[in-house]
Structure 1
């Protein structure tokens, strides 16, 4: 059997996490280092391997997988690694790791990356001085993240999700280390609990940690002696580019008791996905509607349920879980649902579903939400006309998402990840339905293959789909009959 191939660049946070992981667990691999700064990820040969042109990527004897979280989960199963890395036997332990893995995309990852981006990448690209207003805003977001890492995840445990290190800790520390590169580590080290945790994780991962972060330390030295002074003088020259995820916040949390409770708002795409999933699988639950439009999510009573003040959240007899992806995975295992929803028996099928679940945060979910926000939310809130240039940019981005759904995920299959429906499909259609609200669903229907898949998923979900989207249909009718013309007059 061929050796595992790993494509990576150690200036990429998830690349460092994966590099350390395979080294720490003594998984033999063929080193395929890429230099993003030289544009090697843009070359045609690499595009054939990964059309997203990002790192990391693995090729396991012809099985290619993108998305670092999916890769880490796959490797844990593939090599039967110790349970502490990613629990496969303990349902609740796995759910808690999944909760962080999905929360981190738009919190730890996005905000730490944006501090680095505003201090290094943007000044180099634009040849303009650092925008300290933006930097300070991002620092506040990082402080928010660190506070939740402490109070919502770590609490009184030695590691984020339990008593031993997991892939959650590995990914988290690599994101935080991006702050070290720009001398902003005090943003997390000023919290004693997080400082102690970070030291604990580094010690656990050494010597692989130090090896993987050599490039970060070099950039740190360069930033203090060369980069920061040069930005102050408005002097910039090109060294490297790093692509960052920019997606909307998604997090959640709650403490409760008795039967399964679902806190939701059907104008929330992931809320609809969980609601429809429960209905389609005949899982009994207590429906607790949170009217976001009325500010119910900001009230003190709900803040005690979830400090993130978002939906959906479930409480399963006192076990509280946030993040829609983690919730859906937990429900599949808890209720022993058919394997097609979240295939655990086949590592490759499972990895494919995980690949989409983590890709969608920055693609299907982000771009659809942004177009919805630009065409409807922002004009309503600001009483300003639609920014037509931005709207057109996000239309094109949504069209690119649909192309990737076709060419990379769907290909010649009936569903995104196989021949039967999975939680990837249900999350995807709920995000795409946000385009229906604003009369932009032609973006979906102009691709015949995606249109056929979309209708296939709707049919497979039966009455639960229309029940979960009843508010979407109402808002679409309002938008088409009056709101659209009213906004055009602004």
Structure 2
């Protein structure tokens, strides 16, 4: 058997997570460093390894994975590692780890990365002053994340998902360390519970943690002594007082940050609103698989998700959520993964017996958060939600940027996932296809379906998926079709 190849750069948070994990668990691998600063990830040679052209990547004897979460999940099973890293025998314990792993993409990961980028990367690349309004917005967002890390995940446990460390803690601490690089660790260390957890996690990961983060410490020293002072020439460097922080509410936050929940024994309770893409996914899934459930509709338009009663069910105040006899899950991907095992559903939905097939589904499920999901939501938001909420004209410049982003996503759906297969991850439909089509349908509501239907392979795939899902697909999307019809007769957004 050939040795596992690991492509990485320790400048990358998730690369540090995978690298550290390999070292801690003494997994033999062939070291394949990729210098991001030199643009080695953009070469044609690396593109042949990973069409997404990002790190980390693993190549296990020709089986390639390109998403850090999917990589870690795969390695836990591939090398039969201790259950605490990623539970395979305890369904509920696994579901709680999956819940965090899916939540973190557009929360811990994005928020910390954006503070880092706005304080360090963007000023250096553009030679422009630090945009303190943006910095403060993302600082606020980090505060929101840290509060949920404490109150919604950690609670009174030593680690985020239980009594022992898991890959959730590993990825979380690596993201938070981006803040240390720009002297912003106070954003999480001011919370005593999270500070204690972070020290506990670092100790548990030692000595590999310190080795993997040497580059972060070097960047921090450079930032404090060379980089940050140099930005004073670009504009004011003072850190605004917290009383002056401004956080512009993103009208898309509800659309982009939707989540899920689960439970057991009594009839499954499903909280949802068919206005929400992941709600439609869950609704479709339980209907198609004839899973008995108690209908708990939550009217987003009436603000029912913002009530104190609903907050007790889901502290994130988003939909969908499931409650399976008191066991609650708040992330859609984690919910469907849980339901597949809970009800022993057909393997094609989410493979449990074929490790590589499962890894490929996980690869898409993790990629889609900031790609298919976010890109389609942003086009929908800028063309429909924002003009109606602000009574301002459509920002066509932003729309064009988002449309280009969707075009890139569609190209990757075709070339990196679909390739020559009938479905995204294989010969039969999986939950990856279900999530993908429901996100793309946001574009249909605003007459922008050409953004994916102009690609003949993706158009054929979409028709294949809709046909495979049968009449339940149309029922779940009835609201979206009404919205589309209304858009035909309503005043053009540009006239607002």
Q: Shorter-normalised TM-score: what interval?
A: over 0.9
Whether 1:438 aligns to 2:415 is: no
Q: CA deviation at 1:258?
A: 3.8
Q: Is the 8 A contact 1:253 1:308 kept in 2?
A: no
What CA distance in whole angstroms lies between the structure 1 residues aligned with 2:435 and 2:260? 17
Greater shift in the superposed pair: 392-401 or 335-344: 392-401
Residue 370 of structure 2 corresponds to 362
- RMSD of the TM alignment (CA)? 1.6
Q: Is the 8 A contact 2:261 2:335 kept in 1?
A: no
Whether 1:138 aligns to 2:144 is: no
Task: Give the counterpart of 2:473 among 447, 465, 468.
Answer: 465
Q: CA deviation at 1:248?
A: 3.2
Whether 1:317 aligns to 2:325 is: yes
For 1:340, what is the secondary structure of its paired residue?
A: coil
Residue 246 of structure 2 corresponds to none
Residue 242 of structure 1 corresponds to none
Q: Is the 8 A contact 1:266 1:469 kept in 2?
A: yes
Residue 358 of structure 2 corresponds to 350
Q: CA deviation at 1:470?
A: 0.8
Matches within 5 A, 1:156-305: 156-234=156-234, 248-251=256-259, 258-305=266-313
For 2:256, what is the secondary structure of its paired residue?
A: coil
Q: CA deviation at 1:122?
A: 1.2
Q: CA deviation at 1:361?
A: 0.5
Q: CA deviation at 1:253?
A: 5.7
Q: Is the 8 A contact 2:154 2:160 kept in 1?
A: yes
For 1:227, what is the secondary structure of its paired residue?
A: helix
Q: Is the 8 A contact 1:5 1:32 kept in 2?
A: yes
Q: Is the 8 A contact 1:252 1:307 kept in 2?
A: no
Task: Give the counterpart of 1:426 among 424, 434, 440.
Answer: 434
For 1:453, what is the secondary structure of its paired residue?
A: helix
Q: CA deviation at 1:399?
A: 1.7
Greater shift in the superposed pair: 179-188 or 276-285: 179-188
What CA distance in whole angstroms lies between the structure 1 residues aligned with 2:444 and 2:53? 30
Q: Is the 8 A contact 2:105 2:369 kept in 1?
A: yes
Q: What per-residue deviation string (whole Å, max 9, x for no partner) do you get for residues 227-286 of structure 1?
A: 110011129xxxxxxxxxx99323456899942111111111000001000000000111
Q: CA deviation at 1:134?
A: 1.8
Residue 243 of structure 1 corresponds to none
Residue 240 of structure 1 corresponds to none
TM-score, normalization by structure 1:
0.95
Q: Is the 8 A contact 1:8 1:15 kept in 2?
A: yes
Greater shift in the superposed pair: 322-331 or 390-399: 390-399
What CA distance in whole angstroms lies between the structure 2 residues aligned with 1:92 and 1:23? 28
Q: What per-residue deviation string (whole Å, max 9, x for no partner) do you get for residues 59-98 of structure 1?
A: 1111111010000001011111111110011000000000
Residue 487 of structure 1 corresponds to 493
Q: What per-residue deviation string (whole Å, max 9, x for no partner) do you get for residues 121-162 of structure 1?
A: 111122112122221221111111111111110111111101
Whether 1:390 aligns to 2:398 is: yes
TM-score, normalization by structure 2:
0.94
Which contiguous aligned blocks of 4+ residues in structure 1 show a shift greater than 3 angstroms?
Answer: 250-258
Residue 27 of structure 2 corresponds to 27
Q: CA deviation at 1:489?
A: 2.0
Residue 94 of structure 1 corresponds to 94
What CA distance in whole angstroms lies between the structure 1 residues aligned with 2:374 and 2:487? 21
Q: Is the 8 A contact 1:254 1:304 kept in 2?
A: no
Q: Is the 8 A contact 2:263 2:325 kept in 1?
A: no
What CA distance in whole angstroms lies between the structure 1 residues aligned with 2:262 and 2:422? 37
Residue 151 of structure 2 corresponds to 151
Q: Is the 8 A contact 1:173 1:198 kept in 2?
A: yes
Q: What are the ranges of 5 or more consecutive residues in structure 1 without an aligned counterpart?
A: 236-245
Q: Is the 8 A contact 1:106 1:250 kept in 2?
A: no
Q: Is the 8 A contact 2:260 2:335 kept in 1?
A: no
Matches within 5 A, 1:102-141: 102-141=102-141
Whether 1:306 aligns to 2:314 is: yes
Q: Is the 8 A contact 1:379 1:487 kept in 2?
A: yes
What CA distance in whole angstroms lies between the structure 2 residues aligned with 1:254 and 1:232? 50
Task: Give the counterpart of 1:449 among 451, 457, 464.
Answer: 457
Aligned residue pairs: how many? Answer: 478
Greater shift in the superposed pair: 282-291 or 169-178: 282-291
Q: Is the 8 A contact 2:52 2:416 kept in 1?
A: no
Q: What are the ranges of 5 or more consecutive residues in structure 2 without an aligned counterpart?
A: 236-252
Q: Is the 8 A contact 1:263 1:290 kept in 2?
A: yes
Matches within 5 A, 1:378-417: 378-417=386-425
For 2:134, what is the secondary structure of its paired residue?
A: helix
Q: Is the 8 A contact 2:5 2:29 kept in 1?
A: yes
Q: Is the 8 A contact 2:259 2:278 kept in 1?
A: no
